[in-house]
Homo-oligomer: A and B are copies of this chain.
Amino acid sequence: MPTYKYPRPSVTVDIVVFGYDGGAQLKLLLIKRGSEPYKGSWALPGGFVDMDETLETAALRELEEETGVKDLYVEQLYTYGAPDRDPRGRVISVAYFSLVNLQDHPAVAASDATKAEWFPTNELPDLAFDHADIIAAATKRLAAKVRYQPIGFELLPEEFTLGQLQHLYETVLNVEAFNKRNFRTRILRTGILEEVGRQKNVAHRPAVLYRFNETAYKKLAEERDGAVLRRALDFEI
């Protein structure tokens, strides 16, 4: 039993994983808590950070232990440290954020007693701790991220149609259909998509299938970094 000169908080990680399956809503991965506090409530996957692992490692480990979902890209979201956010005492939680497509990450095997489930983002249950706040922050981050990064990289399967991509954007931004012509023009103009074939056996004109070209994307990102220097402020907000 370790003893310290001064009291110390506990440190946890929580992970917000958004999943997409082509439907009308994004989904969110939650677990049912098997122990107190908030036993029986739904919560974000997560848990205590071990002393010899990085925060990101802890996030990925807890996620796999609790939901079976693994092999994904995560980015740090925000750290929550209100003194009263956990009834067990001072617990500071580093929240992580991830995007996956549900085809590649369907597994929701609960390794211990807890259940794990994908919930449509518009039908979330009551959540333990301040996890509703964390999810709200993640949703905001996603809406911001979509503006400057092609989130389809993570949320869509390897090959997809422009219709699917547009549908994803409409879902994430929560809007009715925006103009098809302009969406296509803009996204194709960037050059980050490459054709890989055509749909088969669909009851309409078969769509061209595309794949993200990561090389082209990185090149575009570099050019844009240079352009910022000339264009400077946008004050888009």
A-side interface residues toward B, CB under 8 Å? 1-11, 48-49, 51-55, 76, 78-79, 81-83, 90, 92, 94, 143, 146-150, 169, 173-175, 178, 183, 186-187, 190, 192, 220-221, 224-225, 228-230, 232-237
Given contacts A83-B53, A94-B79, A235-B187, whether A2 and B1 have CB atoms under 8 Å apart is: no
Instruction: Give the residue among A7, A11, A225, A235 with the most B Cβ atoms within 10 A.
Output: A235
Residues of chain B contacted by A5 (CB below 8 angstroms): 1
Chain B residues, Cβ within 8 Å of A54: 81-83
Whole-angstrom distance between the alpha carbons of A147 and B225 in the complex? Answer: 11
A26 to chain B, nearest CB (A): 16
Least distance between A184 CB and chain B CB atoms (Å): 12
Number of copies: 2
B79 touches A79 (CB 8 A): yes
Which B residue sits closest to A166, measured CB to CB? B232
Check A9/B11 contact, CB under 8 A, given A52-B83, A79-B79, A147-B236: yes
Chain B residues with Cβ below 8 Å from A10 are 8
| Contact partner, A3, options B3, B51, B150, Cβ 8 Å | B3
The residues of B that contact A225 with a CB separation of less than 8 Å are 237
CA distance A57 to B175 in the complex (A): 38
Given A76-B78, A81-B49: A148 touches B92 (CB 8 Å cut-off)? no
Instruction: From B76, B92, B169, give the contact of A11 (CB < 8 A).
Output: B92
Residues of B within 8 A of A173 (CB): 228-229, 232
Cα A81 to Cα B11 in complex, Å, equals 10
Q: Tell me the smallest distance from the CB of A131 to a CB of chain B, in Å.
A: 18
